[in-house]
């Protein structure tokens, strides 16, 4: 099974509550972009990773994705971007990041 790696960059590290935030990045396996993979965003809440409703997109032909979020709960928010390629020949990748909602 081939490994994979996903990058994630936030448009704003300190978004205001209710303000749109965009996460973008690339899912790659063996140096090439992985197309048509599912990318989901989760947040860490009450001791577990929870999916953010509606924060699901697919990668394009180059393995790139762009997902819009609106976070309302203030404080440091741990986010996890999970890239899940189609089929069983490429592993799922994840990347964690933190933004501070004010």
**pLDDT confidence of residue 87:** 85
Rounded CA separation 51/8 (Å)? 16
Divide the 102 residues of the chain into consecutive groups of 10 and give the mean pLDDT of each group: 94 96 97 97 96 96 97 95 93 97 96
- What's the CATH number where 23 sits? 2.60.40.2410
Measure Cα distances from 46 to 40, 43, 50, 58 in Å.
19, 10, 9, 28
Structural domain count, the chain: 1
Rounded CA separation 86/3 (Å)? 13
Of 27, 1, 3, nearest in space to 89 by CA: 1
* Domain hosting residue 36, numbered range: 5-101
Q: Is the pTM of this model over 0.75?
A: yes
């Amino acid at each position: 099974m081939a490994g994979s790696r996903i990058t994630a960059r936030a448009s704003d590290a300190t978004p205001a509550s209710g303000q749109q935030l965009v996460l973008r990045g690339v899912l790659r396996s063996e140096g090439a972009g992985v197309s048509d993979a599912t990318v989901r965003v989760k947040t860490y809440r009450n001791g577990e990773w929870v999916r953010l409703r509606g924060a699901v997109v697919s990668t394009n032909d180059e393995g790139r994705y762009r997902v819009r979020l609106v976070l309302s709960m203030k404080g440091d928010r741990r986010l996890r971007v999970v890239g899940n390629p189609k089929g069983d020949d490429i592993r799922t990748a994840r990347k964690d990041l933190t933004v501070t909602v004010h």
